[in-house]
Amino acid sequence: MADPRFFERAGPFTLGELAERCGTRLADPAMAACTVDDVATLDQAGPGQLTFLDNPKYTDAFAQTKAGACILHEKHAALAPAGVILLLSPKPYLSYARVAQLFYPAPKAVPGIHPTAVVEPTARLGDGVSVAAHAVIEAGAEIGAGSMVGAGTVIGRNVVLGKECRISAQVTLSHCLIGDRVLLHPGVRIGQDGFGFAPDPAGHVKVPQLGRVQIGSDCEIGANSTIDRGAGPDTVIGPGCWIDNLVQIGHNVTMGRGCIVIAQAGVAGSTQLGDFVVLAAQSGVAGHLKIGTGARVGAKSGVMTDIPAGESHFGIPAARVKEYFRQVATLRRLAQKKGADNE
């Protein structure tokens, strides 16, 4: 059970309500009035709790679960232990995510401005906005209805923030336009100067960075990640992108919708990502490249060329995944041979 010091649980819910709201179907509709009061993993759930089976490698754990109910794909229904009520879903993990959100909804803004916050008179705050201690909202900034601004966060001059955003503590925003329902974790930096200068032995000369950052709705950006503003054009993060912690996005980068960028990855200036691109952890993409829709880049890879839509690339310099693993295998074989020759 989630630690009640940190998590507030809603519910209980009837299985009928959960099924309806979360895209599942009760295998036995007669069970619709049964209630569950929490979610839990297969091995920890007890009677009265709801669990899920997604990854087939957990079918053994499923066979032994004590859960009262379970979300799963129809094809696994036959494996269910007696007494477990089944909610069928074509995408069990997705349905579970929705159920878990019902039990543990995101914290809501407690409307009001903390007396220690500094809100300039020309800033415009929508209904129900919450501004925490020591936050700073500069002149002309707009905060959409229902948004939360965390402690110590600084919203720069004329920044526009949509509705129902959750901006954590100690975030800095400047020169940016942000959509609705965006979640920014602590220490996120958006809109500072990009890395632009004319190199010169007498002293590099700064090139003023005259663009902005646009962040689409429904994005989440991880702790201490940095997104520089454009040099002239804007830096653009499409709607529904998920960016993990300590990620760097350079100036003029554009991303389509639904991209996933995992921890410590980086994208250099002016590179364009299509929709649903995945950049795994600690990968890097050089500047001025095009990464097609649905392309995937492996962990720690270094991309130096365009990637066509739908391809997976790995390695440094990154190559098609099949090529990359052939290279790894080839080198391993040659090195073993050499090792053997020397013995």
Residues 152, 254, 235, 302: is their CA dihedral positive or negative? positive
> In the set 20, 59, 124, 197, which binds a copy of itself (CB under 8 A)?
197
76 versus 251: smaller Cβ distance to a copy of itself: 251
Cβ atoms < 10 Å from Cβ of 134: 16
Q: Which of residues 210-229 bind a copy of itself (CB under 8 A)?
A: 210-212, 218, 220, 222-224, 226, 228
13 part of the interface to a copy of itself, by CB under 8 A: no
In the DSSP assignment, the letter for residue 109 is P
Contact set for a copy of itself, span 290-309 (CB under 8 A): 299-300, 302, 304
Distances (CA, A) of 117 to 113, 147, 183, 292: 7, 15, 20, 44
11 contributes a contact to a copy of itself by CB under 8 A: no
β-strands 166-167, 148-149 pairing: parallel
The rounded distance, in Å, linking the Cα atoms of 257 and 278 is 11
State which of positions 50-89 bind a copy of itself (CB under 8 A). none
Q: Least distance to a copy of itself from the beta carbon of 74, Å?
A: 18
Residues between 110 and 169 with contacts to a copy of itself, criterion CB under 8 A? 114, 116, 118, 132-134, 136, 140, 150-152, 154, 157-158, 168-169
Residues 226-285 that bind a copy of itself (CB under 8 A): 226, 228, 232, 240, 242, 244-246, 248, 250, 258, 260, 262-264, 266, 268, 276, 281-282, 284
**42 Cβ partners below 8 Å, 6+ apart?**
51, 52, 53, 58, 61, 62, 65, 67, 70
Scored b (16 or more CB within 10 A) or e, 182-219 reads bbbbbbbbbbbbbebeeeeeeeeeeeebebbbbbbbbb
Of the candidates 76, 175, 185, 251, the residue annotated as catalytic is 251
Q: Which of residues 95-114 bind a copy of itself (CB under 8 A)?
A: 96-98, 100-101, 103-104, 106, 114
Selected range binding a copy of itself among 25-33, 39-47, 79-87, 305-313, rule: CB under 8 A: 39-47
